[in-house]
Amino acid sequence: MPTSAADRAIDHALLSDAVRAAGAIAKRYFRSDQKVWEKQPGHPVGEADIAVNEWLQKQLSGARPDYGWLSEESADGPARLSARRVWVVDPIDGTRSFLKGCTEFAIAAALIEQGRPSAAVVFNPATDEFFEAVRGQGARLNGNAISVSATTRLEDARLVSSRTEMERKTWADRFKGNPITPISSIAYKLALVAAGRFDALISLWGKHEWDLAAGDLLVSEAGGHVTTAEGEALAYNRENSRLPSCVASNGRLHDALMAALEP
């Protein structure tokens, strides 16, 4: 049974309220002492990640117990695969930046239906930027409609990526004439592409669904295009939550970007 516009609006309101409150939780930990440990070498997690995750799961799964749940900070299981709708959450995307007191982080959450995001929020509480989107209704920043850039020439494109990918020169040498800005959180980067501050994002490293789902909808609803580096659409709530790569653009540059990234 397809979701009605009214039901989607109610779910989006629930999601927005939960993420706004989660932002207040994150700010209490930001630039303050907290316990930090490593889930695995090079992957830190702090008390803030867990506190935000617990809040969002309580609010979202508590209100919609029949929806599935997938989060970076929760154990995964097969139950979500049979759910008609699934919350996909990254409590703090850009944890390393958050722990360093850098504002390049965001809370990212999306509702998935039939493999695609239908509602999404990316919130950076440190900069007070609240990005949101509902399928078919456009994207907004702090209540105002946003759209991708109008840049049409690849040589004029402003690109955004991660510091690590730039340091390891995985693709940046193919765009020597373009300014490339490093920002930590991929969810935040996608939101900035949706808002037209950058023309495209490139990440050739694997990402998880929680990294991309919310930003994917933001860019799409703002008039842009998001695919893998092979040009395939991103699909969500799969058994393997890892996605191979991400290229997001204003749409006008997508073919040229794909051509430049060909082996």
Average pLDDT value over all residues in the chain: 95
Backbone angles phi, psi at 242, to 5 degrees: -90, 135
8 Å CB contact between 147 and 141: no
Cα–Cα distances (Å) from 37 to 24, 50, 71, 218, in that order, read 22, 11, 18, 32
Q: Are 161 and 167 in contact (CB under 8 A)?
A: no
Q: What is the mean pLDDT of residues 136-149?
A: 98
Q: Where in the chain are all domains bearing CATH 3.30.540.10?
A: 5-146
- Residue range 223-234, pLDDT digits in tens: 999 999 999 999
- With a cut of 60, say whether residue 2 has pLDDT above it: no
Question: What does the pLDDT read at residue 164?
Answer: 87
In this predicted model, what pLDDT tens digit does every residue of 188-247 receive, in sequence order?
999 999 999 999 999 999 999 999 999 999 999 999 999 999 999 999 999 999 999 999
Write out pLDDT tens, residues 53-96: 999 999 999 999 999 999 999 999 999 999 999 999 999 999 99
Indicate if the pLDDT at residue 18 is higher than 70: yes
3-state SS, the chain, equals CCCCHHHHHHHHHHHHHHHHHHHHHHHHHCCCCCCEEEEECCEEEEHHHHHHHHHHHHHHHHHCCCCEEEECCCCCCHHHHHCCEEEEEEEEECHHHHHHCCCCCEEEEEEEECCEEEEEEEEECCCCEEEEEECCCCEEECCEEECCCCCCCHHHCCEEECHHHHHCCCCHHHHCCCCEEECCCHHHHHHHHHCCCCCEEEECCCEEHHHHHHHHHHHHHCCCEEECCCCCCCCCCCCCCEECCEEEECCCCHHHHHHHHCC
Rounded percentage of the chain residues whose pLDDT exceeds 70: 99
pLDDT category at 4 given cuts 50, 70, 90 is confident
154-261 has which fold? Answer: D-Maltodextrin-Binding Protein; domain 2 (3.40.190)
User: Residue 6's pLDDT band (boundaries 50, 70, 90)?
Assistant: confident
Total residues found in the chain within this entry: 263
C-beta of residue 118 within 8 angstroms of C-beta of residue 8: yes
Q: Which CATH class is domain 5-146?
A: alpha beta
In the chain, ranges of CATH 3.40.190.80 domains: 154-261
